[in-house]
Amino acid sequence: MAEYRKIRRLIPAAAGYHPGSVIRQLCLRSEEKGFSCLKDYYPYLMDHEEERLFWNDHLTYLGSHFFRGDMWPALSAACHEAFDGTRPVRVWCAACSTGKEVYSVLMMLREFLPAECIRLLATDYNDEVLAQCAEGWYGSSNLAEIPERFHGFIRPGGRPRETGGTSRGGFCFREDLLSAVSTKHLNLLTDAYPEGFDLILCRNAIKFFRRREREKVQKRLAQSLSRSGLLMLSDEDSERIRRPAALGLTRLGDINLYRKA
Protein backbone atom coordinates (compact mmCIF):
# COMPACT_ATOMS: atom_id res chain seq x y z
CA MET A 1 0.00 0.00 0.00
CA ALA A 2 2.91 2.35 0.61
CA GLU A 3 4.00 2.04 -3.02
CA TYR A 4 0.40 2.41 -4.18
CA ARG A 5 -0.01 5.67 -2.26
CA LYS A 6 3.15 7.04 -3.90
CA ILE A 7 1.99 5.97 -7.35
CA ARG A 8 -1.50 7.35 -6.83
CA ARG A 9 -0.09 10.83 -6.37
CA LEU A 10 1.26 10.55 -9.93
CA ILE A 11 -2.09 9.41 -11.37
CA PRO A 12 -4.89 11.88 -10.54
CA ALA A 13 -7.37 9.71 -12.47
CA ALA A 14 -7.10 7.07 -9.71
CA ALA A 15 -9.09 9.24 -7.30
CA GLY A 16 -12.51 7.73 -6.70
CA TYR A 17 -11.57 4.19 -7.73
CA HIS A 18 -11.36 1.31 -5.28
CA PRO A 19 -7.66 0.77 -4.33
CA GLY A 20 -7.86 -2.98 -4.90
CA SER A 21 -8.95 -2.65 -8.52
CA VAL A 22 -6.33 0.03 -9.23
CA ILE A 23 -3.56 -2.04 -7.67
CA ARG A 24 -4.51 -5.03 -9.84
CA GLN A 25 -4.30 -2.86 -12.93
CA LEU A 26 -0.97 -1.38 -11.83
CA CYS A 27 0.51 -4.84 -11.21
CA LEU A 28 -0.56 -6.08 -14.63
CA ARG A 29 0.92 -3.01 -16.32
CA SER A 30 4.18 -3.20 -14.37
CA GLU A 31 4.59 -6.84 -15.44
CA GLU A 32 3.96 -5.87 -19.07
CA LYS A 33 6.74 -3.31 -18.74
CA GLY A 34 9.11 -5.91 -17.29
CA PHE A 35 9.07 -4.89 -13.64
CA SER A 36 8.76 -7.45 -10.87
CA CYS A 37 6.93 -5.20 -8.40
CA LEU A 38 5.34 -1.77 -7.98
CA LYS A 39 8.42 -0.56 -6.11
CA ASP A 40 10.45 -1.00 -9.31
CA TYR A 41 7.68 0.38 -11.51
CA TYR A 42 7.36 3.63 -9.54
CA PRO A 43 10.64 5.29 -10.74
CA TYR A 44 9.74 4.46 -14.35
CA LEU A 45 6.29 5.99 -13.92
CA MET A 46 7.77 9.07 -12.29
CA ASP A 47 10.29 9.60 -15.12
CA HIS A 48 8.00 8.95 -18.11
CA GLU A 49 5.15 11.37 -18.73
CA GLU A 50 3.70 9.21 -21.51
CA GLU A 51 3.29 6.36 -19.02
CA ARG A 52 1.41 8.63 -16.61
CA LEU A 53 -0.82 9.79 -19.47
CA PHE A 54 -1.50 6.14 -20.34
CA TRP A 55 -3.43 5.77 -17.09
CA ASN A 56 -5.80 8.60 -17.97
CA ASP A 57 -7.39 6.30 -20.55
CA HIS A 58 -6.63 2.78 -19.33
CA LEU A 59 -7.22 2.79 -15.60
CA THR A 60 -10.06 0.26 -15.56
CA TYR A 61 -10.20 -0.98 -19.15
CA LEU A 62 -10.49 -4.79 -19.06
CA GLY A 63 -12.00 -5.51 -22.47
CA SER A 64 -15.50 -6.71 -23.33
CA HIS A 65 -17.39 -9.52 -25.04
CA PHE A 66 -20.45 -9.90 -27.22
CA PHE A 67 -23.51 -11.11 -25.28
CA ARG A 68 -21.53 -11.39 -22.05
CA GLY A 69 -23.43 -13.12 -19.24
CA ASP A 70 -26.63 -15.13 -19.21
CA MET A 71 -29.12 -12.31 -18.69
CA TRP A 72 -29.90 -11.67 -22.38
CA PRO A 73 -33.11 -13.76 -22.73
CA ALA A 74 -34.63 -12.12 -19.64
CA LEU A 75 -33.49 -8.66 -20.73
CA SER A 76 -34.96 -9.23 -24.20
CA ALA A 77 -38.28 -10.29 -22.68
CA ALA A 78 -38.41 -7.22 -20.42
CA CYS A 79 -37.59 -4.89 -23.33
CA HIS A 80 -40.14 -6.61 -25.58
CA GLU A 81 -42.79 -5.93 -22.95
CA ALA A 82 -41.69 -2.32 -22.32
CA PHE A 83 -41.09 -1.16 -25.91
CA ASP A 84 -43.83 -1.68 -28.50
CA GLY A 85 -42.30 0.23 -31.41
CA THR A 86 -44.81 3.07 -31.33
CA ARG A 87 -42.25 5.58 -30.05
CA PRO A 88 -38.45 6.05 -30.21
CA VAL A 89 -36.39 4.06 -27.70
CA ARG A 90 -33.37 5.84 -26.23
CA VAL A 91 -30.56 3.59 -24.99
CA TRP A 92 -27.36 4.51 -23.17
CA CYS A 93 -24.43 2.11 -22.87
CA ALA A 94 -22.24 3.68 -20.18
CA ALA A 95 -18.57 2.61 -19.91
CA CYS A 96 -19.06 0.87 -23.26
CA SER A 97 -15.41 -0.15 -23.82
CA THR A 98 -14.88 -1.32 -27.44
CA GLY A 99 -18.61 -1.48 -28.08
CA LYS A 100 -19.32 -5.19 -28.07
CA GLU A 101 -22.18 -4.73 -25.63
CA VAL A 102 -23.43 -1.80 -27.70
CA TYR A 103 -23.97 -3.99 -30.74
CA SER A 104 -25.21 -6.89 -28.62
CA VAL A 105 -28.10 -4.82 -27.27
CA LEU A 106 -28.78 -3.33 -30.70
CA MET A 107 -29.10 -6.77 -32.30
CA MET A 108 -31.31 -7.91 -29.43
CA LEU A 109 -33.63 -4.91 -29.85
CA ARG A 110 -33.75 -5.25 -33.64
CA GLU A 111 -35.41 -8.66 -33.24
CA PHE A 112 -38.65 -6.84 -32.43
CA LEU A 113 -38.10 -3.11 -33.10
CA PRO A 114 -37.58 -1.29 -36.42
CA ALA A 115 -34.23 0.39 -37.06
CA GLU A 116 -35.69 3.91 -37.07
CA CYS A 117 -37.08 3.37 -33.56
CA ILE A 118 -33.72 2.87 -31.80
CA ARG A 119 -31.15 5.51 -30.87
CA LEU A 120 -28.17 4.49 -28.76
CA LEU A 121 -25.58 6.63 -27.00
CA ALA A 122 -22.27 4.89 -26.22
CA THR A 123 -19.93 6.58 -23.75
CA ASP A 124 -16.53 5.84 -22.29
CA TYR A 125 -13.63 7.85 -20.93
CA ASN A 126 -11.14 5.96 -23.14
CA ASP A 127 -11.15 7.63 -26.56
CA GLU A 128 -9.25 4.75 -28.18
CA VAL A 129 -11.89 2.12 -27.40
CA LEU A 130 -14.65 4.64 -28.11
CA ALA A 131 -13.29 5.06 -31.64
CA GLN A 132 -13.48 1.30 -32.20
CA CYS A 133 -17.06 1.30 -30.98
CA ALA A 134 -17.96 4.03 -33.48
CA GLU A 135 -16.29 2.12 -36.31
CA GLY A 136 -17.98 -1.17 -35.43
CA TRP A 137 -15.19 -3.41 -36.76
CA TYR A 138 -13.95 -6.51 -34.92
CA GLY A 139 -11.56 -9.39 -35.55
CA SER A 140 -12.79 -12.72 -36.88
CA SER A 141 -12.12 -14.47 -33.56
CA ASN A 142 -15.01 -12.52 -32.00
CA LEU A 143 -17.60 -13.96 -34.36
CA ALA A 144 -18.00 -17.10 -32.23
CA GLU A 145 -19.43 -14.96 -29.40
CA ILE A 146 -22.41 -13.88 -31.54
CA PRO A 147 -25.38 -16.28 -31.84
CA GLU A 148 -25.92 -17.46 -35.40
CA ARG A 149 -29.39 -15.93 -35.65
CA PHE A 150 -27.76 -12.48 -35.52
CA HIS A 151 -25.21 -13.10 -38.28
CA GLY A 152 -27.48 -11.34 -40.76
CA PHE A 153 -26.46 -8.05 -39.10
CA ILE A 154 -22.81 -8.71 -39.96
CA ARG A 155 -20.75 -8.35 -43.12
CA PRO A 156 -17.08 -9.14 -43.72
CA GLY A 157 -14.42 -6.45 -43.66
CA GLY A 158 -14.60 -2.83 -42.53
CA ARG A 159 -16.79 0.10 -43.49
CA PRO A 160 -16.26 0.87 -47.20
CA ARG A 161 -15.75 4.59 -46.61
CA GLU A 162 -12.96 3.83 -44.10
CA THR A 163 -11.15 1.10 -46.04
CA GLY A 164 -11.34 2.51 -49.55
CA GLY A 165 -13.77 -0.23 -50.50
CA THR A 166 -11.30 -3.02 -49.74
CA SER A 167 -11.68 -5.71 -47.10
CA ARG A 168 -9.24 -5.88 -44.22
CA GLY A 169 -10.52 -9.11 -42.69
CA GLY A 170 -12.67 -9.48 -39.63
CA PHE A 171 -16.24 -8.20 -39.74
CA CYS A 172 -18.29 -5.05 -39.42
CA PHE A 173 -21.93 -4.45 -38.57
CA ARG A 174 -24.51 -3.37 -41.11
CA GLU A 175 -24.91 0.33 -41.73
CA ASP A 176 -28.38 0.43 -40.15
CA LEU A 177 -26.83 -0.65 -36.81
CA LEU A 178 -23.84 1.66 -37.16
CA SER A 179 -26.02 4.67 -37.91
CA ALA A 180 -28.07 4.05 -34.75
CA VAL A 181 -24.98 4.64 -32.56
CA SER A 182 -23.55 7.96 -31.44
CA THR A 183 -20.46 8.10 -29.22
CA LYS A 184 -19.33 10.58 -26.60
CA HIS A 185 -16.39 10.88 -24.22
CA LEU A 186 -17.77 10.70 -20.68
CA ASN A 187 -16.20 10.03 -17.29
CA LEU A 188 -18.82 8.65 -14.91
CA LEU A 189 -17.04 10.21 -11.92
CA THR A 190 -16.62 13.76 -13.17
CA ASP A 191 -18.84 14.59 -16.17
CA ALA A 192 -22.49 15.58 -16.47
CA TYR A 193 -24.87 12.73 -17.30
CA PRO A 194 -27.35 12.79 -20.18
CA GLU A 195 -31.00 12.16 -19.26
CA GLY A 196 -34.24 10.69 -20.55
CA PHE A 197 -33.20 7.13 -21.39
CA ASP A 198 -35.55 4.18 -21.69
CA LEU A 199 -32.73 1.67 -21.16
CA ILE A 200 -29.31 2.11 -19.56
CA LEU A 201 -26.63 -0.58 -19.46
CA CYS A 202 -23.74 0.05 -17.08
CA ARG A 203 -22.01 -3.25 -16.42
CA ASN A 204 -18.69 -4.03 -14.74
CA ALA A 205 -17.87 -0.38 -14.09
CA ILE A 206 -19.38 0.59 -10.73
CA LYS A 207 -17.44 -2.14 -8.94
CA PHE A 208 -14.21 -0.22 -9.55
CA PHE A 209 -15.33 2.83 -7.55
CA ARG A 210 -15.05 3.59 -3.85
CA ARG A 211 -18.28 3.25 -1.88
CA ARG A 212 -19.13 6.95 -1.84
CA GLU A 213 -18.52 7.26 -5.59
CA ARG A 214 -20.47 4.07 -6.28
CA GLU A 215 -23.52 5.47 -4.52
CA LYS A 216 -23.25 8.76 -6.44
CA VAL A 217 -23.01 6.95 -9.79
CA GLN A 218 -25.97 4.71 -8.94
CA LYS A 219 -28.09 7.73 -8.01
CA ARG A 220 -27.12 9.65 -11.15
CA LEU A 221 -27.82 6.66 -13.41
CA ALA A 222 -31.27 6.31 -11.85
CA GLN A 223 -31.90 10.02 -12.44
CA SER A 224 -30.93 9.58 -16.10
CA LEU A 225 -33.77 7.10 -16.68
CA SER A 226 -37.08 8.15 -18.12
CA ARG A 227 -40.23 7.15 -16.25
CA SER A 228 -40.47 3.32 -16.27
CA GLY A 229 -36.97 3.19 -17.77
CA LEU A 230 -34.82 0.09 -17.31
CA LEU A 231 -31.33 -0.09 -15.76
CA MET A 232 -29.16 -3.15 -16.42
CA LEU A 233 -26.16 -3.82 -14.16
CA SER A 234 -23.68 -6.68 -13.76
CA ASP A 235 -23.78 -9.15 -10.87
CA GLU A 236 -21.00 -7.40 -8.96
CA ASP A 237 -22.39 -3.93 -9.59
CA SER A 238 -25.90 -4.93 -8.58
CA GLU A 239 -24.69 -6.35 -5.26
CA ARG A 240 -23.60 -2.84 -4.36
CA ILE A 241 -27.07 -1.28 -4.63
CA ARG A 242 -28.05 -1.40 -0.99
CA ARG A 243 -31.45 0.29 -1.20
CA PRO A 244 -32.96 0.26 -4.71
CA ALA A 245 -36.21 1.82 -3.46
CA ALA A 246 -34.29 4.86 -2.21
CA LEU A 247 -33.19 5.42 -5.81
CA GLY A 248 -36.73 5.03 -7.10
CA LEU A 249 -35.90 1.60 -8.56
CA THR A 250 -37.58 -1.79 -8.39
CA ARG A 251 -35.65 -4.97 -9.16
CA LEU A 252 -37.22 -7.19 -11.82
CA GLY A 253 -36.95 -10.95 -11.39
CA ASP A 254 -33.68 -12.75 -10.78
CA ILE A 255 -31.45 -10.74 -13.09
CA ASN A 256 -29.81 -7.42 -12.28
CA LEU A 257 -32.46 -5.36 -14.03
CA TYR A 258 -34.25 -2.44 -12.38
CA ARG A 259 -37.24 -0.33 -13.40
CA LYS A 260 -37.72 3.29 -12.43
CA ALA A 261 -41.04 4.11 -10.79
**pLDDT score, position 15:** 64
User: Could you report the per-residue pLDDT of 34-53, keeping only the tens digit for each?
Assistant: 998 888 888 998 899 888 87
Task: For the domain covering 72-260, report its CATH number.
Answer: 3.40.50.150
Q: In what order do the strands lie in the sheet with 249-252?
A: 181-185, 118-124, 89-93, 197-201, 225-232, 257-260, 249-252
- The domain locations on the chain are 2-58, 72-260
Residue 51 CA to residue 183 CA, distance in Å, equals 26
Q: Confidence class of residue 163 from pLDDT cuts 50, 70 and 90?
A: very low
Would the pLDDT of 162 be above 90?
A: no
Residue 50 CA to residue 72 CA, distance in Å, equals 40
Residue type, 96: C
Residue 43 CA to residue 161 CA, distance in Å, equals 45
Residue 18 CA to residue 214 CA, distance in Å, equals 10
> How far apart, in Å, do the first and last CA atoms of the chain sit?
43
pLDDT, the chain, mean: 87
For residue 34, give every residue at least 6 positions away whose Cβ sits within 8 Å of its Cβ, in sequence order, or none: none
Of 4, 200, 29, nearest to 105 by C-alpha is 200
Would the pLDDT of 197 be above 90?
A: yes
The stretch 50-69 carries a mean pLDDT of 75
Would the pLDDT of 202 be above 90?
A: yes
Q: What is the DSSP string of the chain?
A: -HHHHHHHHH-GGGTTB-HHHHHHHHHHHHHHTT-SSHHHHHHHHHH-HHHHHHHHHHSS-----TT-SS-HHHHHHHHHHH--SSS-EEEEESS-TTSHHHHHHHHHHHTTS-GGGEEEEEEES-HHHHHHHHHTEE-GGGGGGS-GGGGGGEEESS-HHHHTT---SSEEE-HHHHTTEEEEE--TTTSPPP--EEEEE--SSGGGB-HHHHHHHHHHHHHTEEEEEEEE--HHHHTT-S-GGGGTEEEETTTTEEEE-
**pLDDT score, position 168:** 60
Give how far the C-alpha of residue 124 lies from the chain's centroid of Cα atoms, to the nearest Å.
7
Q: Confidence class of residue 169 from pLDDT cuts 50, 70 and 90?
A: confident
Give the global pTM. 0.78
Q: Confidence class of residue 171 from pLDDT cuts 50, 70 and 90?
A: very high
**pLDDT score, position 241:** 74
Would the pLDDT of 246 be above 60?
A: yes
Would the pLDDT of 165 be above 50?
A: no
